Amino acid sequence: MKNFRGKYIGDKRFYKMLFGIALPIMIQNGITNFVSLLDNIMVGQLGTEPMSGVAIVNQLIFVFYLCIFGGLSGVGIFTAQYYGNKDDEGVKNTIRYKFWLGIIITIITIIVFKYFGSNLIGLYLKGNNDGGNAQTTLLYGNNYLTVILFMLPAVYLGMLYSSTLRECGETFIPMIAGVIAVFVNLIFNYLLIFGKFGFPKLGVVGAALATVISRYFEIIFMFLWVFFHSKKYFYFKGVFKTLMVPANLVGRFFVTGMPLLLNEGLWSVGIAMLTQAYSIRGLNVVAGQNIASTINNIFNIVFIAMGDAVAIIIGQYLGAGDMKKAKETDNKIISCAIFTSIVIGSVMFATSGLFPRLYNTNETAKLIATHFIMVQAIIMPKDAFLHTSYFTIRAGGKTIVTFLFDSVFMLVVSVPVAYILTRFTTLHAVIVFALVHVADLIKCAIGYILLKKEVWMNNIVKE
């Protein structure tokens, strides 16, 4: 028992370090997701079709988010290790690489959504009309997408700044920027969706416009804060005097980071394909899953923040060459994530029927949402283990391994299971959803083996 405690349970100093990094991320994500819930409820007051149309577009935009996240996180592995190795110029080169990579991803995304957005939305409307009209939903989705595209440049620049700050141990300022953004979003949602205080009543277009405005507030705040505190954030000082990145570093960043970009991109495509598979069962399922997903995002903020903490803390230990400390700390972070997810999942299960009552949709959609939430609560410890394991493997630069572990598994196992069960059986979408997650137990076994073999314990910035 003493050995178990020493291996998996930290002391007061450990938890102070862990939550010193993770708590601001939890607060930011918690406020962001809570306000997203309020936004979702506001759009939900417009009816099932508007809520479903917005939910479908947000699922597509989610692919962009994760492509940017994956691309920037790939080189962010170097940022954390450069910072741990006290290599300021190395950090600056990763920022410049992020700048160019973000531009490329953003331009490609805008082109794809501009010319193929309507067709992509239509893929989610192939099922029956149970719960609403497909053509009306498509119209709302197209209106929302047209405006939300203006948000993408601000998202990419915001992620460039926030990811770099976090990788260098600064989680407080991205939290403040995120809090500002979500409250701006909330205020403008209220004003523009419902036409309050003399503002036009724009419905889903108002929701999109509020989101765009909030993202520009976020990046302006971070840019000004870093600019006026350049002594503290010295790695940003003069970073854009040149946009050139040494060719040898471009090659290293690309080889290590591209699998992660592909992984996040393909994983998000896989999630979109899973959602599309469930949508075959009708618009009530689309609405119900949207409600459940929004609620789930609120409850999973703890283990999500633990994953970020792994990337920051373990990345810096690896960069400093302290492999023993990296291993000991990683075991304790993963254990903390699993334990807290058991507690939080229990609360989520017990309150699963309350949240759908907040939405102005039909009783069938509310019941489906409740059942989705119950399943998500039960599988939360599994998700916590997989999330922290993924970030552990990634921290050591094993991005090809994470690519196979994450997105390849999604596309080879999870998506085919959902496709077969929704097309060739009459099982309810919630049951299919649960069975897809049962298949993840195979992934858990693989993750455990990879952690045990210590394939992630690498210093990738050592000359």
Structure tokens at 396: 């050591």
Please tell me the pTM assigned to this model: 0.73
Q: Which residue type is seen at 334? A: I
Closest CA to 210 of 48, 59, 54, 357: 54
* pLDDT tens by residue, 97-132: 999 999 999 999 999 999 999 999 888 887 655 656
The count of structural domains within the chain is 1
At residue 131, the pLDDT reads: 56
Give the range of the structural domain holding residue 216, as residue numbers without chain letter: 2-452
Structure tokens at 146: 């047209």
Task: Tell me, yes or no, whether 427 lies in a domain.
Answer: yes
Task: Tell me, yes or no, whether 95 lies in a domain.
Answer: yes
Q: How far apart are the C-alpha atoms of 59 and 287, rounded to whole Å?
A: 12
* pLDDT tens by residue, 206-221: 999 999 999 999 999 9
The residues near 220 (Cβ < 8 Å, ≥ 6 apart) are: none
At residue 463, the pLDDT reads: 47
DSSP string, 363-427: HHHHHHHHHHHHHHHHTHHHHHHHHHHHHHHHHTT-HHHHHIIIIIHIIIIIHHHHHHHHHH---
Residues above pLDDT 70, as percent of the chain: 95
Closest CA to 20 of 309, 276, 311: 309
Task: Tell me, yes or no, whether 285 lies in a domain.
Answer: yes
Residue 139: CB atoms within 10 A of its CB come to 17
Q: How far apart are the C-alpha atoms of 242 and 93, rounded to whole Å?
A: 10
At residue 42, the pLDDT reads: 80
At residue 127, the pLDDT reads: 61
- Measured in whole angstroms, how far is the alpha carbon of residue 88 from the centre of its chain? 28
Alpha helices (runs of H) in 204-310, residue ranges in sequence order = 204-228, 247-279, 283-299, 301-309
Task: Tell me, yes or no, whether 461 lies in a domain.
Answer: no
Can you tell me whether residue 350 is helix, strand or coil? helix
* pLDDT tens by residue, 321-364: 778 888 888 889 999 999 999 999 999 999 998 988 888 778 89
Task: Tell me, yes or no, whether 459 lies in a domain.
Answer: no
